[in-house]
């Protein structure tokens, strides 16, 4: 992969064995075509944010990929579907949630994908694991804004 781009994916689950699901998703991401996992955060437990249901298990991975953003998004959605992801309503509990946070320096706004992810700066469950593996991408001000959200590193 001579032209591999760094991409960051947030992983979350709160149904079934969420820890096992998140770990399996990390392995599944490593198996994507023209992609490798460059870094994996610790697992974190957080209360649902703007949602109901059990606590979430979250993590962030850094990928190096030569897939373009929409091709990577399609692969993420395929992995979600294979894990039994259903979307009965916004922020429903989920077996697996994979959010493309960043794809290099790409910026885009389309009906299917906005980059960088428009709400990542509002969510401790994204910012803390992202800061663990890519501290230059998270500012102290961003961390201060989410300081009131309960999250624990496992």
Positions marked active-site = 85, 94, 97, 99
Q: Distance of alpha carbon 109 from its chain centroid, rounded? A: 18
What is the crossing angle of helices 18-30 and 69-82, to 10°?
A: 140
Q: Which residue's structure tokens are 């949602």?
A: 51
Give me 60's structure tokens: 């962030």
Using the 8-state DSSP alphabet, how is residue 33 labeled? T
- CB-based contacts of 109-112 (< 8 A; 24+ apart in sequence): 112/70, 112/73
Alpha-carbon span 127 to 24, nearest angstrom: 21
The tally of CA atoms less than 13 A away on the side-chain side of residue 138 is 24
């Amino acid at each position: 992969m001579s032209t591999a781009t760094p991409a960051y994916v947030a992983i979350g689950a709160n149904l079934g064995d969420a820890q096992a699901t998140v770990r399996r998703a990390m392995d599944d991401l490593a198996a994507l075509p023209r992609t490798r996992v460059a870094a994996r955060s610790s697992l974190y437990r957080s209360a649902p944010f703007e949602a109901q249901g059990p606590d979430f298990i979250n993590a962030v991975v850094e990928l190096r990929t030569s897939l373009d953003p929409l091709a990577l998004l399609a692969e993420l959605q395929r992995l979600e579907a294979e894990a039994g992801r259903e979307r009965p309503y916004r922020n429903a509990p989920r077996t697996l949630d994979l959010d493309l946070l960043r794809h290099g320096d790409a910026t885009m706004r389309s009906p299917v994908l906005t980059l960088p992810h428009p709400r990542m700066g509002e969510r401790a469950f994204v910012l803390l694991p992202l800061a663990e593996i890519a501290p230059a991408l998270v500012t102290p001000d961003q961390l201060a804004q989410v300081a009131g959200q309960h999250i624990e590193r496992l």
